[in-house]
Structure 1
Amino acid sequence: MRERRRLRMAILALVSLVLLGAVPLYFGLRALSHDPVFDTLDALAVPSWAANDTVDNVSGSRWCLQDCRLRERTVESEKAWKETAEVYQQALGRDGWRRWKVDRCPEQPVKGSYTCWRRDELTLDLWVRDPTCVPPPVGGEPAPTPAPTPAAEKCAGSLVSVKVRNAIDDERTGPQPSTDPSLTGEDPYPTLTDDPLGELTRSPS
């Protein structure tokens, strides 16, 4: 009887340890595999017509080991880019994001609407533009012009790209290098004259 009790107690203790360890492990793995930034983007109050066919991509490390995490999201909208950009900008403002007017936003001129935003330790780039309807040439031959069909309606609407980075990894948050010559200091190599001795110093008479 005593051996049975000990065996029963040991089994109960083992089951308890497994349950106590499995629950935190489950939630820990779930937190590691899921990025809360995408939950924030999912919570943006945009109309359903402005959030179709969402595609997410993640790269880098959450703890900024070598490269910080970069979150990218592409969404298709049923309406033109101007109306789509307006609803996304309003949604970002309601969610606590603030417009960030900074150089290199964007890096180069682009079509459509490109705006930058900041919230807490994150930066966000929002680019809304017309969709790419005609595929690029294949094999060096120009793509044939499609005949006007009802399928051409799929080319309507707009394309939304969202890029979220950690502010410490965004080079636009730091001081920008300056080329002001006044900040370079004195020339350590002065120009030499033909006379190696220079001008002689007069001795006091």
Structure 2
Amino acid sequence: MRGDRQMRLAVLIGFSILLLGLLPAFFAVRAQQEDPAFGLLDELPVPAWANTAAVDEVSGSRWCLLECRLRERTTRSEQPAEQTAEVYREALLASGWQRWDARPCPEQKTEGEYTCWRRDELTLDLWVRPPACLAANPEAPVEPKAAAPDPEDCEGALVSMKIRDAIADERTRPRPAPQPSPTELYPDPEEEGSD
């Protein structure tokens, strides 16, 4: 009888350890896989034609060790870039994002429409542009060996979204005021006397 009691106690302790160890591990793995920033993008109220073939990429550390996390989503739209950009602007505003007049936004001259947005502790760069085959210079010579672009690749628009933590986005930091040069503070006395 004593052996049965010890066996039940051992099973109960083993089951408790298993339950208390597996549940936190399960939720930790699930949290690693599900990024809330991608969840915000999934919840954007855009029509199905504006979000086809989405590809997500992640770099950096969730805890900003060495480099903070950068999330990127690239997707295609079946409609032209202008119409697609308008749909995404309305969806971002409806989802609580605010237009952000960041400097620089964009960091370099781009084709299409590039806008910056903020929500809570996140920043988002939205770039809507024509597909690469339409964005190229139509007057450029075509090499005879080059394959003709697939007609499906030349329709619609490309949409790129980059989400950063605001703390890691350099555009959120105040810029120092320009300092006067030493010659402005202490002019050369010889140059002053020559006037």
**Where does structure 1 lack aligned partners over 5 or more consecutive residues?**
194-205
> Aligned partners of 1:14 and 1:39: how far apart in 2?
36
> Aligned partners of 2:153 and 2:125: how far apart in 1?
26
1:158 maps to 157
Task: State which drifts further: 80-89 or 101-110.
Answer: 101-110
Structure-2-length-normalised TM-score? 0.84
Code of the residue aligned with 2:60 in structure 1: it is G
Deviation at 1:133, TM superposition (A): 2.7
1:197 maps to none
2:139 maps to none
- Indicate if the aligned counterparts of 2:97 and 2:117 stay in contact, CA closer than 8 A: yes
1:146 maps to 148
Relative to structure 1, is the Cα distance of residues 44 and 183 closer, same or farther in structure 2, using a 3 angstrom cutoff?
farther
Percentage of matched positions with identical amino acids: 53
- 1:152-194, CA deviations, whole angstroms, 9 ceiling, x for partnerless residues? 144110000000011111111112244352799844xx8587x
> Aligned partners of 2:75 and 2:176: how far apart in 1?
35
1:4 maps to 4
Aligned residue for 1:181, secondary structure, equals coil
Q: Does 1:107 align with 2:107?
A: yes
Q: How many residues align?
A: 183
2:52 maps to 52
Q: Which has the higher helix share?
A: 2
Alignment of 1:1-205 (within 5 A): 1-133=1-133, 142=143, 144=146, 146=148, 151-181=150-180, 186-187=185-186
> Aligned partners of 1:50 and 1:30: how far apart in 2?
28
- 1:61-109, CA deviations, whole angstroms, 9 ceiling, x for partnerless residues? 1111111100000000000000000001100001100000122100111
> Aligned partners of 1:8 and 1:22: how far apart in 2?
21
How large is the Cα RMSD of the aligned pairs? Answer: 2.6
1:203 maps to none
User: Rg bigger for which structure?
Assistant: 1
Relative to structure 1, is the Cα distance of residues 28 and 99 closer, same or farther in structure 2, using a 3 angstrom cutoff?
same
**Where does structure 2 lack aligned partners over 5 or more consecutive residues?**
137-141, 191-195
